[in-house]
Structure 1
Amino acid sequence: MWIYLSAIVLVHCSAGIHGPRFTKSPANLTVTQGNMARLGCAIEGLSEPEIIWMKDGERLYSTDQMYITLDTHHWETFHSVKSVQQHDAGKYWCEVEFRGMTISSGSAWITVEGVPHFMLEPQDVATFPGVPFNLTCAAVGPPDPVEVLWWLGGAQEGDYMPSPSVLYVRGVNDSVKFYCEAKNARGISVSRTGTVHIKALPDAPRLVQVDQVLDNNVTLVWTPGFNGHSDLSTCTIQMLKNSGRKLKLPDQRVTVPPFQRSIGGLSSHSNYSVRIYCNNEVGPSPFSSWVDFQTPESVPSAAPKNFTFELTEQQLSLRWAALEEEELHGRLLAYKVQWTLGGESQDALLFKENVAHLAGGGRFFNATFQVSACTVVGCGPWSQPILVMPASAVSAQTQRGHMWVGLLLGLLVATMVGLLLTVLVQRRGKETQFGSVFKPPGMESAVTFTAARSFNRQGPELPESTLDSLGINNDLKAKLQDVLIPERLLTLGHMLGKGEFGSVREAFLKMEDSSVQKVAVKVLKTDINSSSDIEQCLKEAAYMKDFHHPNVIQLIGISLHRRAQQRLPVPMVILPFMKHGDLHTFLLMSRLGDEPFTLSLQMLIQFMLDIARGMEYLSSKSIIHRDLAARNCMLNENMTVCVADFGLSKKIYSGDYYRQGSVSKLPVKWIALESLADNVYTTQSDVWAFGVTMWEIMARGQTPYPGVENSEIYEYLIKGERLKQPPDCPPDIYEIMHSCWSPVPKCRPSFQQLIDQLEGLWAGLSPAPLKEPLLYVNLEGEDQEQEAGLGASAGPLGGEETSWAVPWQCVGMEEDEKDWLMVSSGAALAIGGDYRYIIGPRAAIDGESRRSEDGLSEDIRDEEEDVIINV
C-alpha cells in the first residue's frame, strides 16, 4: 500500500499536480417515470481511482459501473438507471478516498416526473355511530400541482382539492369503505382502501387457563376475544369456591394487557371455578365459560383436639377428635402418633381412624403420647402431650391438688373434731400402691401386696453361639468363620428401620484396640426359625465379604444372638453406619420433609454415577443384583452412594445369565421385560433397573409408573410404553435412562458406557471444559451422518450406530430379536406384516403390597410393591 501511494506521489510530482481533483460533476436531471437517467463524474490525479457514487448520504452499490480513461491520470465514470421510478429521485454525487481524506464532487438532483405518489394514505378509523371524524390524504409530483378526490361508501365526495386534503365526515352509522385519488398532468394514482369501523362491545375472552397452581396461589392466563374496534382497558375475574355450596369470592379487576393474573390467599385442596369478562370504552364483554380447578394439598393447620386415653392391664386405648375439612387442607392419609418412654423416643405409629388400641397396657405406664394429622404433603402440628398413668395414680394426683383446700376447711372445724383426730392418730391406716398397712395396738406391723412383675437378675448368661449351631452348609460356614464377631462386643441402640425379614438397628462395636465404632446391624426377625431363611441371610453377608469398592457397601462382620429356649440363634449382619440413610427416603425428604431442601442437578447426576460405578464393579465380579432401586442404595456421611441389600443377588458361575427357579418376591416395577416374561436375569436386566433408579432420582423419590398397577406392568411394557420424562429432567438425561429400557437386552448400554455418558454430563455442569461431541456415521448411507449426544440418540451401545426405523434397534440384532421391537413398540400396526407375538409372562401376580413399618415416610411414599413370580 505504501509503495502504491509512493508511486502515486512520484507521478504527481513529475506531472506537476498537487493532488487529485474532480474535473466533472453530475448535472441535474428531470426524467419522466420509466425513462433512463445517466450521471457522470471525472477525476484527475490518480492512476487507478475507485470512484464511489452516493445518493442522499448512502453509498450506491452498482455491478455495471464503467470507467473511461481520458488521460494517463484522468478517469471518468457513469451511474445509469435504466427505468427511473419515484424512489430513484434524490441527491447524487461522487467520492474518492485519498490519504485518509474524502474528496467529493459537486452534487446533482434527479427529479422524476410521473403520476402522483402518496406521502400519506388514509388509515382505518374506529368511531361511535354518528360521531364526526376527519380523513387525510397527501400526494406529490412532479409534475405539480397534484389534486385529490375522495370516495366514501362507493360515492364521490365533492370535487378535486389541492393536496394534501382533509375530508370532514359528519358521521356514519354503519361500517363503510373509503379511498382517495391523486391527479396531476401525468395521470391518476389510487390510494389504499380504508374502512370506517363502528365501535362495539368486545367478545368474551377465550382459552381461559390455569397456568400454574402453587401452594395457595394460582396464575390465570386468557386470550382476549374480538376487541370491538376499541382497545381493551380492564378485565374482571369472578371466582366461586365449591365447598358443598358455591361461595362467591370478591371480583378482581385487572388492567390489561398482559392478559394474566396471579391470585393468592386460596384454600388448600379446594375446588374453584373462574370466569372472566373484559371492557373497552363501549362496555363489558360477555363472560367466558366457567373453568374449574383444584388447589393442591398442604399440611394440616391444626392439631387433633380432645386427646384422651383409657388404660387397662390388657390394652391402652387412645382417642382424639377428627379434624374439620377446613383444618385438614387435604385428604387424610393417616394420624401419626409419637411417644416417648423413659425420655427415649419410640417408633411412631400410624392409624387410619381417630382411635387406636395398643395391646399390653402395662408397658405404656409413664409414657407420653402426641398425635398429628397427616396428608400426602406432610404432617400438621402436634397435639398437647398426655401422660399415661394408672387410674389410681391419677386419682391420687387429683386428691393432692385439693389438699390445701381440705386443710383450710379442717382448720375452721378443728375445735369440733379434735377428739376424733386424737383417736385416728392412735389407730391410723396408710394406703400404699402395694396394699394396706395396719398396726393394731400391741401387734407387729403386717404388710400385704401383690407384685406386678418379677425379675431374676442372677440368672446364668447364655453361652456364646457358633456357626456350627446354625445348620448351614460347610462352604458357607468356612467363608464366614473369619468374620464372626462375638455378641458381647456389640451394644445395640435404637431402631433405624424395619423390613419384611427383620430390622436395622444402630449399634456400637468394641474394636480390638478398645475403641468403639458406630455401625448398623441387620437383625433377622426373631419369629423366623427356619435354617433356610437364616442361610439366605448369611449368603448375603458372604457376598458382601468379598466386596471392596467405595460405591458398594462392605461387610464388617456377622454376629449370632443366642435366644433362651430357642434352637437357633438370630443372625446379625454388621455393616458400616450410613449417616443419611437410604437414598429413596433422602430424596423424599428433600421434597416432602418438614424442612424441604434443594438438590442440584450436579448432585443428582453424582448419585447416578456412584450407583453406576458400584454396579460396574459388581458386574465385573459376575454378580447380578436383581433388586437395584433407590431404597437399596445408602448415603454415607460424605454424601457418597453405596449399593446395598444383596438379598436377591446371585453369583453367575457359568454363562452370562441366571434363571429364577423358585417362588420369590420380586420388585415388579424395577424388573426388565425379559425377566418378567422368562425369569431370566443378566447384568443387562440390572441395567434396566438402573434406568428406573435414574427415574426415581430425577423424580425425587416418586413411585415409578404412577397409576399403573403391578398386575398391569407387563402389558404396559409390551405395548412399548415406558416411564415418562420427569418434570425438570433434561432431555439428555432422559435419553440415557430410556436407552436402558430397550426390550432387547444387548441393545442396552453397559454400566461402563453409562459411566462414560454420565461423566460427560457431569463435566458439562462443572467448570471443566466440555468434551467434543462424538460423530456417528450411518453405515446404511455414505452421505448420511448423525451427530449423537449422550443417551439413546447416540445409540445404546455408545460407539455403535443405530438405525432408528424402530426404537431401540441396534447393530448385531437377530431377526427374532427385532420381533420384540415390532411388538413392544407398536410398529407392527404401522408397518404391517405377520410378526411373531410374544407369549404372556409365566407370572401370576397377586398384587399384594409390601408395607413398611418404619413411620409415615414409608406410608406416604406409596411403598414399592413386590409380586410373587411363580415358575
Structure 2
Amino acid sequence: MKLILWISVFFFRSLVGSCDSGVVFTKHPSNQTVSQGNAARLGCAVLGVSEPEIIWMKDGEKLYSTDQMFLTLGETHWETFYSVKSVQQQDAGQYWCEVDFHGLTFSSEPAWITVEGVPHFVVEPQDVATLPNAPFNLTCAAVGPPEPVEVLWWLGGIQEGDPRPSPSVLQVQGVNSSVKFYCEAKNTRGISVSRTGSVHIKVLPAAPVELQVIRMNNNNVTLSWKPGFSGHAEISTCIIQLSRRAARRLDLPQQEVQVPPHLSVLWGLRSHSNYSVRVSCVNEVGASPFSHWLHLQTPESVPMTAPRNLTFSLSEAELSLSWAELTEEELQGRLLAYKMQWTLGGEPQEPLLFKENWAQLAGGGRFFNSSLQVSACTSVGCGPWSRPILVLPVSVQVPVQRSHMWVGLLLGLLVASVVGLLLTIFAQRREKETQFGSVFKPPGPESSVSFTAARSFNRTCSEPQESTLDSLGINDDLKNKLQDVLIPERLLTLGHMLGKGEFGSVREAFLKTEDSSVQKVAVKVLKSDVTSSGDIEQCLKEAAYMKDFHHPNVIQLIGVSLHRRPGQRLPIPMVILPFMKHGDLHTFLLLSRLGENPFDLSLQTLLRFMLDIARGMEYLSSRNIIHRDLAARNCMLDENMSVCVADFGLSKKIYSGDYYRQGSVSKLPVKWIALESLSDNVYTTQSDVWAFGVTMWEVMTRGQTPYPGVENSEIYEFLIKGERLKKPAQCRDDIYEIMHGCWSPVPKCRPSFKHLVDQLEALWLSICPAPVSKEPLLYVNLEGEEGELGGVRGEEEKVTAAGVSSWGVAWQHREGQEEEEEWLMLGSGAALAIGGDYRYIIGPACGPPEGEQGEELRGGRRRESLDALPEEVKDEEEDVVINV
C-alpha cells in the first residue's frame, strides 16, 4: 500500500508541476447537496508540509471556524476537515483549501455545497410610485433547490391569479390609492414570503423649507433651501418669486432654476433695498405651495446720482448754500453727510462736510470767484459730484429775465478775462523757472521767495516699490496659494488699534475694492521687529489654510497684504479678515455678567452659540484641520450675532492671556488643552473636542475662567487624578453630560463634532420646537461706531439679516446721545470711507470745528466698553478682550 501511495504522489507531482516545491494535494473536497438543517463535512489532504497551515476558503473569503480538525497521515502528510453542523441557505457556495509554503500559495480543487430547502429570493418586489390608474409591473424571482419554484402574488390583501413559474412579472392595470403587496415562493420543501412593498400615488410636493441667505456679495444674493416632501416623484425645477418693498410693492419676474443643487443666485438687486423672496418646487404632477416669505435687505452702496439744483447766496458776511435732497433709491444707503469740494484760483481747498442739504458759511468774501461741487456720502463712500457752480456777488449775477444775447456776451467776456489772467500768470512763471522748479510769488517791498520743486528725488535710494510674494523668501507652493488673494497695500487704510498681544496687533481698516467702494475689515499685523522669512512663512501658512474656508460659522480670509518698510529687507505681512462688529464671544459673555448694565442671556441663546461653534468645528474637522486653540476668546460674533470660529494657529501669535510657558516650550492654552496633548504634545481632532467641552463650560458660566483656583502649572496633575470642571450653576444635566463626554481620558471615546452637532440640535429643538431662527438678543456694541455703550437704539434701528429677526436693544437711554450719534463724522470709519483730511466739520448752524471731539471718538468708545468691566476682571481679561 505504501508503494502505491508514493507512486500516486509522484504521479500528482508530475501533473501539477510542483516537484521543486514538494507540496501536493492528495485529497480534494467533493461536491455535496445537503438538506437545510443537516450537517455537511468537507475534507482536504496535503503532502510536503511539516506543520499544517491549511486554510479553508469560501467564495474567495477566508473561513474562521473552531470545527476545523487536523489528522496526521505521515511526517509531512496532513488531512483536515471543515464541518457545518446545521446547514443554512447562506452556507451554500464554493469551497476549497489553501496552503502557503515558502511564499507560494497552493490551492485544492473547488467543491460546491448545495443547500436544499424552502426557496430563497434573488429578486424581491420593490416600492413603486405611479400616477393614479396608470399601469405598472411588479417583479419577483426565487430559486431552490429543489426546483421547480412557483410564485403567487398578493395585492392589497387579495390573491392575484394562480401560481406561476419563477421568475414572475405581475402586470397591474392601475390603482388610485396606496396599497401593499408581496409575493410567495413555493417548492417541495415549503413556502417563503418576500418583503412587503408599497404602491405610492404621486402627488404634489410639499413647500420647501429652511429658505435662507448663505452669501451676500455687493448686489448679488445667494439663496439656499431644502425641498419638502417630494410627493413620491422627482423634483426637477424650483420657481423663485421676488418682490421689492418700497413705497409700493413691486413684483419682479419669477425665475425657474434646475435642481439639485437647491440654491440660486439673485443678480443685480438694488443696493440698500428691502426684498421678499419665496420658493416653490415642481415635480411631474405639478408645483408645490410656496414657502414662507423670506425678507432681506441688500448692503449699502455709494449714491448713484449727484445732488441737483445747487444754488447759493453770497454776501460779505456769509455764503448760503442749498441743494435738493436725494431720494432713498438714489442714496442706496444711509446718508452720512454731504461733502463739498471747492477750488479758489485753480487751487483745491480743504473739503467740508454738511449734515443737511443746506449750509451757512461765515466769511462769504473768501469764497468769491470760487468753484463749488457737492456729493452725497454713505458709509461705503461718496457718489458723483454735482455740476460746478461759480460763486459771484449779486451785482455780477445776470437776471434770468435778461435777453439770452446779453447772457452769452457777459459769459464770453468772463471766460476771456479768466483766460487772459491765466496766460499772464503762466508767462510770469515761465520767466522765473529754474533748473528744478519755479518761483511763484513776485518780489515786493518785503518779498519772500517760495519755491516749488518740479521733481523731487534722492540720489542714494530708489522710490519704494509695491511688495510682492517673491521678496519674502517663502516656498513656491505657499506663493502659488496666496497669489490670488494678495491685495496691494495702497488699497488698505489702517485705522485705530483694536488690540495687541505678544507677537502682533489687530487693527481696524478700510479696504478699497475694484468698484471704488470701501469695505470695513480687520487686519492682523505681525510685529514690526520681524527679521526672518520663517516667521513670515509661519504667519502666511495660517492665511493659506483660511483661504479655502467657506462656512457661515468659520471666519473666511479676505486677502493678504504686505507692508513695505523703508530700509528693511522684508515687508510685514498683514492678514485681512472680515470685521466682526460685535467682537469676541468671551468679551460678550463677560459684559452680559459683569458689564455696567448686565443683561440676561437665555438658555436658547447660549445653546445657539454652542451649536454655531460645533458646526464650524465639524466643517474644519471634515477638512482635516486641527484648530489647537479653540476657546471663547477665539470665537467671533458677526453683525447677525452668529458665532464664527477664528484664529487658526495664528491666534497663538496674537493673544497670550491664557497661555502658560512650560519650560522652553512655547506658550500653551493649558486650561483648554486635552490630557494627551499636555503629556505628549500630540494634537488631533479629539483634542479639539476636549477644548470644545471647555468652551461650552465658558458659555454656560458666561465667561468665567476655567478651573478657578487651579494654577496653570497644576492643571496636568489636577486632570490626571480624574478631576474635571464642575457643573456650572443653573446648568441642565443633559448639557453638562455633553460637555463632560468631551473630557474622556481616552480620545477615541470622545464624541465627534458631527455627533455633537446632532446632540445640540436635538437639545435646541427640544427647548424651541419651532423652526430654527434666531431669537431676539441683546445688542452689545463693542466697537463704538453706532454710539456709546449704554445708549439705546430704537426698534426701527434693529439690525436685520437675511430673513432673520434682528437683535433687540435693552440698554438704558442717555440724555442727548441721539444728537451726538447723528453727528458722528471724524472718529468712526465714516470719515475714512468718505475720504479726505478734514479739519473742519460744519454744522447746520455753522458750529465750531469738532476735531477734538473726533479724537475722543477714535479711542474713547472702545475704552468705554472695557471700562464697563469691574477692576477685578480687567487684569484677568486684558489680553482676551480684542474685537476682530
TM-score range, shorter chain: 0.5 to 0.7
List per-residue Cα deviations over 1:521-557 (Å, max 9, x = no partner): xxxxxxxxxxxxxxxxxxxxxxxxxxxxxxxxxxxxx
1:857 equivalenced with 2:809 (yes/no):
no
What secondary structure does 2:26 align onto?
strand
1:22 equivalenced with 2:29 (yes/no):
no
Q: CA deviation at 1:858?
A: 3.3
Q: CA deviation at 1:122?
A: 0.6
Cα distance in 1 between the residues matched to 2:38 and 2:282: 56
1:589 equivalenced with 2:510 (yes/no):
yes
Letter in 1 for 2:704: P
Cα distance in 2 between the residues matched to 1:274 and 1:755: 40
Letter in 1 for 2:509: L
Q: CA deviation at 1:595?
A: 4.4
Q: CA deviation at 1:366?
A: 3.6
Within 5 A, what are the aligned runs for 1:161-176? 161-176=164-179
Q: Which moved more, 1:852-861 or 1:315-324?
A: 852-861
Q: CA deviation at 1:191?
A: 0.4
Letter in 1 for 2:365: G
Cα gap change, 1:391 to 1:106, in 2 (>3 Å): same
Q: CA deviation at 1:52?
A: 2.6
1:807 maps to 704
Letter in 2 for 1:318: L
Cα gap change, 1:374 to 1:38, in 2 (>3 Å): same
1:758 maps to 653
1:638 equivalenced with 2:559 (yes/no):
no
Cα gap change, 1:156 to 1:720, in 2 (>3 Å): closer
What secondary structure does 2:830 align onto?
helix
2:326 maps to 323
Query: Greater Rg, structure 1 or structure 2?
Result: 1
List per-residue Cα deviations over 1:633-691 (Å, max 9, x = no partner): xx9963999xxxxxxxxxxxxxxxxxxxxxxxxxxxxxxxxxxxxxxxxxxxxxxxxxx
Cα distance in 2 between the residues matched to 1:138 and 1:582: 76
Cα gap change, 1:293 to 1:325, in 2 (>3 Å): same
Contact 1:19 1:45 in 2 (8 A): yes
Q: Which runs of 5+ in 2 are unaligned?
A: 1-12, 414-420, 422-443, 461-491, 499-506, 531-561, 569-574, 621-626, 637-648, 657-663, 692-696, 712-725, 733-789, 791-811, 835-856, 872-884
Cα distance in 2 between the residues matched to 1:221 and 1:115: 52
Q: CA deviation at 1:109?
A: 0.6
Q: Which moved more, 1:223-232 or 1:108-117?
A: 223-232
What secondary structure does 2:330 align onto?
helix
What secondary structure does 2:87 align onto?
coil
List per-residue Cα deviations over 1:729-762 (Å, max 9, x = no partner): 998788485799xxxxxxxxxxxxx99931699x
Cα distance in 2 between the residues matched to 1:239 and 1:224: 18
1:606 maps to 526
Contact 2:318 2:360 in 1 (8 A): yes
What secondary structure does 1:75 align onto?
strand
2:409 maps to 402
List per-residue Cα deviations over 1:205-247 (Å, max 9, x = no partner): 2232233332211222222222222112222111211111111
**Count of aligned residue pairs for this structure pair:** 582
1:237 equivalenced with 2:240 (yes/no):
yes
Give the share of equivalent positions with the same residue, in percent. Answer: 49
Cα distance in 1 between the residues matched to 2:187 and 2:329: 81
List per-residue Cα deviations over 1:94-125 (Å, max 9, x = no partner): 22234554322122110011111100001111
Contact 2:125 2:195 in 1 (8 A): yes
Within 5 A, what are the aligned runs for 1:188-203? 188-203=191-206
Within 5 A, what are the aligned runs for 1:278-289? 278-289=281-292
Contact 1:43 1:74 in 2 (8 A): yes
Contact 1:581 1:636 in 2 (8 A): no
2:129 maps to 126
Within 5 A, what are the aligned runs for 1:76-115? 76-115=79-118
1:264 maps to 267
Cα distance in 2 between the residues matched to 1:859 and 1:336: 13
Letter in 1 for 2:524: L
Letter in 2 for 1:193: T
Within 5 A, what are the aligned runs for 1:405-804? 582-583=495-496, 587-590=508-511, 595=516, 604-606=524-526, 638=565, 700=579, 715=595, 718=598, 735=631, 737=633, 757-758=652-653, 774=668, 776=670
1:246 maps to 249
TM-score after normalising by structure 1: 0.55
Cα distance in 2 between the residues matched to 1:32 and 1:856: 87
What secondary structure does 2:365 align onto?
helix
Within 5 A, what are the aligned runs for 1:242-391? 242-391=245-394
Cα gap change, 1:57 to 1:703, in 2 (>3 Å): closer
Contact 1:210 1:221 in 2 (8 A): yes
Greater relative CO, 1 or 2 (CA 8 Å, sep 6+): 2
Letter in 1 for 2:276: S
Q: Which moved more, 1:115-124 or 1:217-226?
A: 217-226
Contact 1:41 1:78 in 2 (8 A): yes
Q: CA deviation at 1:391?
A: 4.3
Cα gap change, 1:92 to 1:854, in 2 (>3 Å): closer
Letter in 2 for 1:390: P
Cα gap change, 1:828 to 1:128, in 2 (>3 Å): closer
Letter in 1 for 2:83: S
Cα distance in 1 between the residues matched to 2:212 and 2:125: 39
Q: CA deviation at 1:716?
A: 5.6
Letter in 2 for 1:589: F
Cα gap change, 1:86 to 1:581, in 2 (>3 Å): closer
Q: Which runs of 5+ in 1 are unaligned?
A: 1-11, 407-432, 434-456, 462-490, 494-507, 509-514, 516-578, 611-634, 642-695, 741-753, 762-769, 796-800, 815-824, 832-840
1:618 maps to none
2:184 to 176, 181, 185: 181
2:150 maps to 147
Cα gap change, 1:373 to 1:86, in 2 (>3 Å): same
Q: CA deviation at 1:460?
A: 14
1:617 maps to none
Letter in 1 for 2:112: W
Cα gap change, 1:207 to 1:276, in 2 (>3 Å): same
Letter in 2 for 1:296: P
Cα distance in 2 between the residues matched to 1:195 and 1:237: 33
Cα gap change, 1:385 to 1:307, in 2 (>3 Å): same
Contact 2:673 2:690 in 1 (8 A): no
What secondary structure does 1:69 align onto?
strand
Q: CA deviation at 1:792?
A: 13
What secondary structure does 2:524 align onto?
helix
Q: Which moved more, 1:201-210 or 1:722-731?
A: 722-731
What secondary structure does 1:275 align onto?
strand
Q: CA deviation at 1:599?
A: 11
Cα distance in 2 between the residues matched to 1:79 and 1:713: 73
Contact 1:154 1:177 in 2 (8 A): yes
Contact 2:629 2:651 in 1 (8 A): no
Q: CA deviation at 1:279?
A: 1.8
Contact 1:348 1:854 in 2 (8 A): no
Letter in 2 for 1:757: K
Q: CA deviation at 1:373?
A: 0.9
Cα distance in 2 between the residues matched to 1:275 and 1:826: 44
What secondary structure does 2:230 align onto?
coil
What secondary structure does 1:326 align onto?
helix
Contact 2:584 2:633 in 1 (8 A): no
Cα gap change, 1:152 to 1:317, in 2 (>3 Å): same
Cα gap change, 1:353 to 1:788, in 2 (>3 Å): farther
Cα distance in 1 between the residues matched to 2:635 and 2:99: 66
Cα gap change, 1:607 to 1:241, in 2 (>3 Å): farther
